[in-house]
Amino acid sequence: MSLFDITPPQDDAGSAKRPLAERMRPERLEDFVGQQHIMGPGKPLRVQIERDELQSLILWGPPGVGKTTLAKLIARLTRCDFVPFSAVLSGMKEIKTVMVEAERTRRLGRRTVLFIDEIHRFNKAQQDAFLPYVERGDLVLIGATTENPSFEVVSALLSRTKVYALQSLSVENIVTLLDRALKALGIAAPEALLKQIAVYSNGDARAAYNILELASSVMHDGVIDADAVEAVTGRKTLLYDKSGEQHFNLISALHKSVRSSDPDAALYWLARMLESGEDRLYIARRLMRMAIEDIGLADPRALEQAVAAQQAVHFLGVPEGDQALAQVAIYLAVAPKSDAAYRALNAARETAANQIAEPVPMQLRNAPTRPMKEWGYGEGYQHAHQFDGALNMMECLPDRLRGTRFYHPTERGLEQRISQRLQEIRAKKDPREPEAS
């Protein structure tokens, strides 16, 4: 099952004409997909539903992530009357009518779940009208909103409800929904194409179902293909196996274009990956790696840019986050290049792995107890800030590794200044070292 229920075909023609997203709502809690942070086993909202200890709540999240579905499930599983209420179509008169009916129903021993879609569209007076009925327990109010409740819901109502933040569905979540929908419809589509639809839908299950439903109307022989999806989305579908050779070829091309300081080639290969439906966070991780491996300290801001792009992609999603990936790809391509830090760590790790583990020199050890001080812990330690220029003469490597150099900065970008600074430090600590020029 999926986020929306897979109901058997109905005899009435009206049911068959309902949108696919409406037909696919689940009837069991176990069939709900996504939102594991609140609906997973043992999580707060799920426990409330299972124990039938529901309180009024507000579901806050982007479109198509299951707010309405969850409200209907709650009403069904807690055996409550479900009354949907649209903030767009209803006014104060309708609010009062519903409240009176909910109070009457309570007196008959039945509970009412009042679901208010787009609750943020109600004004303050309209929202205040619900307060006495929520306080008396005449009904359980479930509000749904795409806007931050802290700004859009009056504080009195907010204090009497629990806010749950829903997240955009992942590609895997939406593929699961689409796969179950295909089975319910008795048609087929390649998994790679389902992933492409999931990327296009940007975490919105309803949008994904709409694409699938429209594509099924132009398919041939019971199979949805890339042409059908392209026909309904107006976007060219470039499918490739994300675990196969093409996947690795494209990321290799992007990486080597950045390393070769070719922003145009980097943008082309990035665009190829984006249009093929590649996981945006995977691309962001690889760009971050390029910033570390190929630019390093020649431009330390490269890593900052890559991390910022990852955050932007995670926050904005598709397609807005794609521009952040393009921006950082250009930045990395034109940045000065250095793999000195990368090579330095590899050299240090090789030494650590292939040589005897040297004990930490006594001058570098802490001495929190008197016996440790008596044993020589911390003896000879020189606090750098007590010396001119914060430069002491203390050796920090084990004796057998004294004088070992792992890091050899280049003369490119900021590393040119780092190289000069290192020469100054080393010359002061060891007169045999050449002075910085």
CATH number at residue 99: 3.40.50.300
Instruction: Please check whether residues 47 and 144 belong to one and the same domain.
Output: yes
Amino acid present at 348: A
Average pLDDT over residues 308-332: 91
Whether 25 is in a domain gets the answer: no
Which amino acid, residue 297? L
Strand order in the sheet with 57-60: 81-86, 112-117, 140-145, 57-60, 162-165
- Are the C-beta atoms of 178 and 208 separated by less than 8 Å? yes
Provide, rounded to the nearest whole percent, the portion of the chain with pLDDT above 70. 90
At residue 336, the 3 state secondary structure works out as: coil
Whether the CB-CB separation of 39 and 180 falls below 8 Å is answered with no
Q: Which region among 190-204, 254-268, 359-373, 401-415 has the lowest average model confidence (pLDDT)?
A: 190-204
- As a whole number of angstroms, the distance between CA 53 and CA 33 comes to 22
183 in the same domain as 107: no
Q: Which helix (H) or strand (E) holds 13?
A: helix 13-16
> For residues 162 and 153, what is the distance between their CA atoms, to the nearest angstrom?
12
Query: Does residue 15 belong to any structural domain of this protein?
Result: no
Which tokens in the block code for residue 357? 């583990």
On average, the pLDDT of the chain sits at: 83
CATH of the domain at 265: 1.20.272.10
pLDDT of residue 13: 43
Q: What is the pLDDT of residue 6?
A: 37
Task: Decide if pLDDT at 145 tops 80.
Answer: yes
Residue 393 and residue 291 share a domain: no
| 123 contact partners, CB below 8 Å, separation of at least 6 | none
Q: Both 53 and 119 in a single domain? A: yes
Distances (CA, A) of 190 to 174, 179, 193, 240, 428: 14, 10, 5, 11, 66
Contact 75, 81 (CB under 8 A): yes
**H-type helices in 57-141, by residue range?**
67-77, 92-107, 124-128, 131-136
Total structural domains within the chain: 4
Tell me the range of 75-84, 193-202, 285-294 where mean pLDDT is highest.
Answer: 285-294
Q: Is 76 left (phi over 0), alpha (psi -120 to 50) or beta?
A: alpha
Residue 368, in any domain of the structure: yes
- Give 106-143 pLDDT, tens digit per residue: 777 677 788 888 888 888 887 887 787 777 767 788 88
Which tens digits make up the pLDDT trace of 384-405?
898 888 888 888 889 889 888 9
The whole domain housing 203 covers 171-233
Is the pLDDT confidence value at 437 over 60?
A: no
The token pair at 429 is 């600590």
Quickly state the pLDDT bin for 223 (edges 50, 70, 90).
confident
Co-location of 67 and 120 in the same domain: yes
Shared-domain flag, residues 184 and 129: no
Residues 371 and 409 occupy one common structural domain = yes
Going by C-beta distance under 8 Å and a sequence separation of 6 or more, which residues neighbour residue 285? 310
Query: Could you say which of 334, 351, 380 is where a domain stops?
Result: 334
Return the residue matching tokens 């200044």. Answer: 417
Kindly state the average pLDDT of the residues 330-351.
Answer: 93
- Domain end residue (candidates: 110, 142, 165): 165
The answer to whether residues 160 and 45 belong to one domain is: yes
With bands split at pLDDT 50, 70 and 90, how would you rate the model's confidence at 3? very low
Considering the domain architecture, whether residues 304 and 197 belong to the same structural domain is answered as no
Per-residue pLDDT, 7: 38
- Label residue 27 by pLDDT band (50, 70, 90): confident
CB 181 within 8 A of CB 145: no
Q: Is the dihedral of CA 132, 134, 135, 136 positive or negative?
A: positive
Greatest distance between any 2 Cα atoms in the chain:
95
What pLDDT score was predicted for residue 337? Answer: 95
**Are residues 292 and 305 in contact, defined by beta-carbon separation less than 8 angstroms?**
no
Q: Rounded distance, CA 26 to CA 29, Å? A: 7
The residues, ordered by sequence, that sit 6+ positions from 138 with a Cβ below 8 Å of its Cβ are 99, 102, 103, 106, 112
- How far is 99 from 96, CA to CA, in rounded Å? 5
Question: Residue 8: inside a domain, yes or no?
Answer: no
Q: Which of residues 334, 369, 401 is at a domain's end?
A: 334
Band (49; pLDDT cuts 50, 70, 90): confident
How confident is the model over 91-110, as a mean pLDDT?
72
Q: Who's near 348: CB < 8 A, 6+ residues apart?
A: 406
Question: Does 238 have pLDDT greater than 60?
Answer: no
Give residue 76's pLDDT: 81
What was the pLDDT predicted at 332? 95
Under DSSP, the state recorded for 83 is E
Reduced to 3 states (helix: H, G, I; strand: E, B; else coil), residue 199 is helix
**pLDDT given for residue 220 in this prediction:** 81
Report pLDDT for 336: 94
**Amino acid making up residue 39:** M
Q: What's the confidence (pLDDT) of residue 178?
A: 93
Residue 7: inside a domain? no
Tokens coding 30: 């176990």
Structure confidence at residue 339 (pLDDT): 92
Residues of the chain with pLDDT > 90, as a percent, come to 21
Q: Find out whether 366 and 359 touch, Cβ atoms under 8 Å.
A: no
CATH number at residue 224: 1.10.8.60
In the predicted model, is pLDDT for residue 85 greater than 80? no
For residues 70 and 157, state if they share a domain: yes
Segment 365-391 mean pLDDT = 89
Residue 434 domain flag: no
pLDDT of residue 235: 63
Are 228 and 266 part of one and the same domain? no
Which CATH number goes with the domain that contains 391? Answer: 1.10.3710
Same domain, 150 and 45: yes
Q: Is residue 228 part of a domain?
A: yes
The reply to whether 340 falls in a domain is: no
Region 87-109: mean pLDDT is 70
User: What average pLDDT score do residues 42-66 get?
Assistant: 85
> What local confidence, expressed as pLDDT, does residue 56 receive?
86
pLDDT at 436 over 70: no
